[in-house]
Structures are given as structure tokens and as C-alpha cells.
Amino acid sequence: MTGNRDEKIRRMKELAAMLLPAARAYYQESREIMSNREYDRLYDELLGLEGETGVVLAGSPTQRVGYEVLSELPKEAHESPMLSLDKTKEVAALQDWLGEQKGLLSWKLDGLTIVLTYEGGQLVKAVTRGNGEIGEVITNNAKVFANVPLKIAYEGQLILRGEAIIRYSEFERINKGIEEVDARYKNPRNLCSGSVRQLNNEITAARNVDFEAFMVVRADGVDFKNSRREQFEWLRQQGFDVVGYRQVDRESLPEAVAAFSKEVQSCDMPSDGLVLLMDDIAYGESLGRTSKFPRNSIAFKWADEIRETRLREIEWSASRTGLINPVAVFDPVELEGTTVSRASVHNISIMEALELGEGDAITVYKANMIIPQIAENLTRSGNIQIPKECPVCSGETRIRQVNDVRSLYCTNPECQAKKIKSFTLLVSRDALNIDGLSEATLEKFIAAGFIHAFADIFHLDLHQEAIVEMEGFGQRSYDNLIAAVQAASHTTLPRLIYGLGIAGIGLANAKMMCRTFHSDFAAMRKAGKEELMEVDGIGEVLADAWMDYFASERNNCQVDGLLAELEIEAEPESQEEAVFAGKVFVITGSVEHFANRKALQAEIEKRGGKATGSVTAKTDYLINNDVASNSSKNKKAKELGIPIISEQDFLNMLGGNENAD
């Protein structure tokens, strides 16, 4: 029976994976990748399985989860403190801890711990671990996790814990979409933390957050036969993905640890160790807890493979932002099956704390068996001199302290490192899209003096002879490059804005700014903070970044020179009557007549209106299908006397049944 249920849930996941891309292609991209007949057949099969199992998975094509934007995440105290785990790096210590008991050995996933609550079979609440005492309520976000069941067969109150994670494959996919290297996420855990705690759950949904259950806190009336393993299997039957585990005893424990350590390198889930949990629920709870740790479970951290080597030098690496990072270069050593000879030291504070010096004896390891790090400096000579000049441009350097962290920066705005990264962004695919101008080619051209300002890209023909003679070039490569440059001179305003590299202004933000300012770039350049913050998605930080950029005379000269070389293609004007000209809308809750809220927003903008994220005195209408709800936006609209209309009301306005005024 259990196997049959597992098979049904597995089939439900397969069906969702087939149906979702087909629905997205049909409704959002106006193309078909599956016939209507086939889609209906698979949809009906999924609907039937949901009825049989009582399980509805997050993201199921049979469900429509509305996106919601919050002003802040509410806080909530946990019923009982969520404690950390005691740790060991010794397998023998794990064996002694387990004694004669049976245990469950599982991955210790490196994400964000979440508490889910179900009532009447429905997901009603999700709260982060927070500080262990108080967490943040992220229910809307949990409903768009990739694999959280929205509905389960069990109708009593279920409280469980699990880890929200972003897989390495997803982490790499998201980072590949970020052209600017300095803006990429550092690790899956940081990306997951930010994704889970978004105020706009549409962003969460795009990140494909996974939830791996690891503990039942409460499930009244269910007989688990005093076994944590039974709990795990019961959760699996309810439709949850359960953290990978093995049942162990004292004798089999070393072999299980070894098996996990072999898998860690190929595991797609970020893990920083293992967890050993007592299988006997009553016995484990009878052990109680210390002020810091529960006694029914313990964490196992990988015993780092540490090698001693000699520090040759500190290499200083400059970036587009001006930050100059210290990188330790040492005699090559074998670690976790690979040869390593370099490790980032991250900043001056860490370098000084380690008292690094050339020739020092140091020990190195791989953090989480992946990232090379310095463990200890055995000599501590501290003879490294912090460079007073940038290693790239010889400009003056300066140490800045932010939140107790000291870092080195190049102060020269003409630094080639800054230029190369800036030009790389300008010619990238989502900006001017100049094929043939790779970062390596730009580096050659800048070093040769062909390029000093953005506009110089459009005058490379002045250096034809020299370029043709360059290594890796020839007449054909030159001709192709010039053709690509000429094609790039015809572009759009959002592409230009994105290519300028203003901190935080991506292509999506650039498009929203162009819509709000009706593609009036002159107005955008001199806009004040309040005007900029009227743009959906532009907050105080991005508004400040925009204003700081155009407060610079040098930046304005760069932009003016570039504009003289470009032909900005005018955005096609909507043929629809501008019935909403000057009107400001806010959209909240789920939509029924449009594919999503973005589609509704596009309809408003096409008719001359504007859609923003917050209800203010400037808002003309709040669109919410739940007109009578007590949501924060509804309350604010009522306070300000702003009409709250349904989606049908909006459609009536479009049809002329109601005047937009």
C-alpha cells in the first residue's frame, strides 16, 4: 500500500514537470509544445491522483497561487526554542553518543530552517528559524516553493520542520544569468536566505527553492510506533520530500559516514555535514536538553583534510567596483583529490588577523570539502605590506572600514580594471550586445590605447591596421567586429541604461524606468529621489545609486559621448485608447482573468496608466479580487479613501461600462 502511494506521488511530480512548461509556453509565450488533447489527458490524470492521495503539491498546474507583495515580514515567537546541535568531527564520538540505540544518519543541509503548520489538510503557516526564539512569517513564500505540498491527506494539526535550500544546479543557473561578476551570489545558502525572505513571493517562485523535511513536531492522533523513521516515511506519504537518510547502529555507523562522504562531492544539495538522530522518540526526548543543545541529536562535521604548505606571496586582485582582494598563493598541495595553490583571504581584516607573511608556514583546507581556505598561520611573521598603489593602474589605494571589516580600494576612476569590467558589461548580451568584444579583447584594446571612453568603441575603424595585425585577429575578424559595432549602434533605451552599470539597475528595472518616464531619458537623468521611487521596483538604495551616478560630471560626459554614437529606437506607441492616462493603480492578491499580475500591469500601462507596488495618496485604484479583505493594502486604501475594485470592475472600465474617471 505504501509503495503504491509513493508511486502515485512520484507520478504526480512527473506530471507537474511535464505540464508546467507546456502551460507556460501556451499562456505566456503564445506557443505550443504539447497538443491540447495531450495536455488535458495529463492534467486529468494529475487531478485524479490528487483526489486519490489527498495531496496537492506546490506549483501544481491544478492550483493558482496568487503572488503577494508585503511591506515587511511579520514576526512570530516559536512555541518552543529551536536549539542548535552539538557537534563532533570524530566518528568514534558519534558511536559513543549513539551507544546501543538505533539512529538515523542524514544530510545536514546548508540552507534555512523552516517550520510549517497544516490544519485541515491545508498549509496555513510557515515561519523561519530566526534567532531560535522568534522567526519571520513567510507563508506566502512557502506556498511557491518548488516542492511544498499545499494540501495533504492528514487533516489534524501537523507541525514539522525542514530545511529550505537552493540546489547547486539552480545556484549556477541563476548566477549565469547575472552578467556582472561582482553582483553574483557567493553561495547557495545566501541566495536561499534572500529568496525565502522576499517581500514579493513572485521572486521566491523564480528561485526554485526546495524544502526537505527532517522532523515532525506535532501530529496528533498518528501512531508513529515510537520511531523517527516511521515519522520520515509518514511525511513522505503525505507528499513531502524528506532529507536523505540511512538507519544505523553503532557497528554500521562508520560505513554510513564513509558512504555520505563519497556522495558529498556529487550531491546537488548544499551540505555542511551530517545529523545523527535517535530513532527511539521517547528515549530521545527523555534525555532532555542543555541550555544550548537537544540531547536526542548531534551534528557531524566533516573532518577537514588539512595540509601544511608555504605561503609564497599575497596577490592583489582588482575588480570593477574598485575593491582589491588579497589572494594567498602557496606551494601546491593535494586536498580532497585535487591540487590547490591559491585561496582567497577576502579582506585586509582577515589577512591581518592571520598575520600573514611571505615564506610563512600555513595550513590549508577545503571548507565543506569544496572551497580552499587558510586554516592557520604557524609562523605569523606579518610582513605583508598593503600596497599603496593599485596593481593594475598604479593609482592611489585607500583602506575603507565597513561594519568592522577593513578592505582595500583603488581610488582612480580611470583604473583599467574598472574600465574592463565596465566595458564588458556595456557590450554584453542584454546591453549593446556586440559580438566579438570579449573581456580579453577589450583588455587588449584598452591596453593598446584604442578605447578610453564608451564612445571609442564606435571608432575602432581608426585602428584597423593595428587590430588586423593583432594576435588572434585578421581581416575577417576585424570586418565581423566592425559589422557588430555598427549593428549595436541601433539599440533601445533600456539596453543602454542597463549597460551603464549603475549599481543595482538591471534590465528589468531599466524597462520599468523607461515605462514610467515614457522613455524621456533627459527627465530620468535629472529626476529626484521621490520621482525615482515612484518607479515600481526602485527603492531608496537604487534611487540613490542612480542620482550618485548622474551627479558625476565624468559620467555625464561619458553618457553624452555614447548617445552621440547611438540611434535609440523609439518604443512602439500603444494603439489602444489611453483611458487610464495619469491614473495610478496598485494590484494585490491573485488574478483570474489575466495570466498573472504582470499581464494585468501591462494592460494598465498600454492604456496610459501606471502600476506601482504601494498604496499612497497618489494611488487612484487598488485592484483586489477580495474587495472585503482586511489586508494591509485594503486597510490603507480605505484610510485614504481610494476605491478598491475587483478585476471584473477593471474589465468593465476597459469595456466602457464605467468611466475611468
Average pLDDT over every residue of 640-650: 88
SS3 431: coil
pLDDT value at 27 more than 50: no
Residues 6+ apart with CB under 8 A from 163: 109, 111, 112, 113, 114, 211, 212, 214, 243
The torsion region of residue 34 among left (phi > 0), alpha (psi -120 to 50) and beta comes to: beta
Average pLDDT over every residue of 409-423: 81
**Where would I find the H helices in 460-570?**
464-469, 475-488, 493-499, 507-516, 521-525, 529-533, 540-550, 553-563
pLDDT range class, residue 658, cuts 50, 70, 90 = very low
Output the pLDDT for position 40.
Answer: 65
pLDDT value at 463 more than 70: yes
Average pLDDT over every residue of 540-565: 90
Cell numbers standing for residue 351: 589577512
pLDDT range class, residue 162, cuts 50, 70, 90 = very high
Q: What is the pTM of this model?
A: 0.49
For residue 120, the tally of other CB atoms under 10 A from its CB is 11
Average pLDDT over every residue of 471-498: 90
Strands across the sheet with 644-645, in order? 610-612, 584-587, 621-623, 644-645
Catalytic residue among 108, 418, 511, 633: 108
pLDDT range class, residue 67, cuts 50, 70, 90 = very low
358-410 pLDDT tens trace:
999 999 987 655 678 888 899 999 999 999 998 878 889 999 887 667 889 98
pLDDT value at 498 more than 60: yes
* Catalytic residue flag (residue 419): no
Per the document, the length of the chain is: 661
Rounded to whole angstroms, what are the CA distances from 447 to 451, 452, 587, 620?
A: 8, 10, 51, 55
**Cross-strand pairs, 398:** 409
pLDDT value at 545 more than 80: yes
| Cβ burial, residue 656 (10 Å; 0-12/13-18/19+) | exposed
Average pLDDT over every residue of 198-213: 88
Output the pLDDT for position 292.
Answer: 65
Output the pLDDT for position 30.
Answer: 36
Rounded to whole angstroms, what are the CA distances from 486 to 143, 439, 469, 557, 567?
A: 48, 19, 21, 22, 10
Output the pLDDT for position 404.
Answer: 67
Cα 644 from Cα 348, distance rounded (Å): 55
SS3 605: helix
| Cβ burial, residue 211 (10 Å; 0-12/13-18/19+) | buried
pLDDT range class, residue 239, cuts 50, 70, 90 = very high
Cα 232-237-241 angle, rounded to 5 deg = 60
Average pLDDT over every residue of 223-251: 95
74-91 pLDDT tens trace:
888 887 778 878 888 889
Helix 647-654 vs helix 597-606: crossing angle, to nearest 10 = 30
